Amino acid sequence: MTYISELTELCDRLGCRVIPDCSLSEYVTFRFGGKCKALVSVNGMESVAVLVSFLRKNEIKFGIIGRGSNVLVPDEGFDGVILLFGSGFSKIETDGTTVTCEAGALLASACVHAQHRDLTGMENLFGIPGTVGGALYMNAGAYGSEMSDIVVSAEYLDSSGKIRSIKKEDMKLGYRHSIFSENDWIILRVVIQLSEGNNSDISAAMSECMSKRSSKQPLEYPSAGSIFKRPEGSYASLLIDKCGLKGMTCGGAMVSEKHCGFVINKGYATCSDVLELCDKIKKIVKEKTGYELELEPVILK
């Protein structure tokens, strides 16, 4: 793997931290998964562009992880390089009611940033455990709000390695979908438009949102959030519950008894356990209800 030494030299020049032969289990919220050849913590848009150019030029497989809240890492790991969009790539800036976030900024941090500046519009997104870039990628949402309600534009790295801008109307934003999930464009920065609001009202709404999550979701266990997308005409959790699958297990993976839309890691689950359990759920739900469930997390391949 001669490219690892070249990659390390490049990261040194860019000021990016690199960890060769890195276990990914601590970088995903499910807390399992094998190793990657190297993990690089990026520190800016230009660094991403340079690193991606190097990886593509040398035909090195790569993937991107933010908070790792909607990702399944196979037990055998990832045979390539992971670019981590984390704390080194998480600046949040405000200009009036416009908030600009680097892709690695936590969505929760952006919500708090907005609240501290009396800006409303993000309250229902508070508590979603992901980055702003990841949230836009899948048009994340909760309690009737989605990223599509507040995003204005974004900057991204296109397939040729150029940094480009895109407006909301061109993003093809739909339920857990965007134009970014259709191709290999990489979200770098997201521009959000909010409104002036009352700080105490914003704070109260955020607190209420977290209370709902804590009372209804198994936040005490590692998971990837909702394991299935919402099928048209119903809800995955309702269908799973109706089929009597609450508490169903495969190895260390279990359908949450608190919320059937979650598959949790009881502490010793593997990726294979989760995928096997999900396959069984999908089969039973299809046989009993006719609904076809689709996995929501992305499998790192």
From the candidates 176, 189, 237, 256, give the one annotated as an active-site residue: 176
Active site residue 296: yes
Structure tokens at 220: 């005490």
Active-site residue, from 17, 117, 230, 296: 296
Return all residues near 300 (Cβ < 8 A) that are at least 6 apart. Answer: 24, 33, 63, 65, 71, 72, 73, 74, 78
Which pair of structure tokens corresponds to residue 54? 């190097």
* Helix ranges (DSSP H) in 103-262: 107-116, 132-137, 199-216, 236-242
C-alpha 43: how far from its chain's center?
A: 18
Question: How buried is 137 (Cβ within 10 angstroms: 0-12 exposed, 13-18 middle, 19+ buried)?
Answer: buried
Measure Cα distances from 148 to 1, 34, 111, 165, 185 in Å. Answer: 42, 34, 15, 16, 18
176 is catalytic: yes
Catalytic residue from among 153, 223, 226, 256: 226
13 has catalytic annotation: no
- Alpha-carbon distance of 152 to 168, in angstroms, equals 5
Active-site annotation, residues: 176, 226, 296
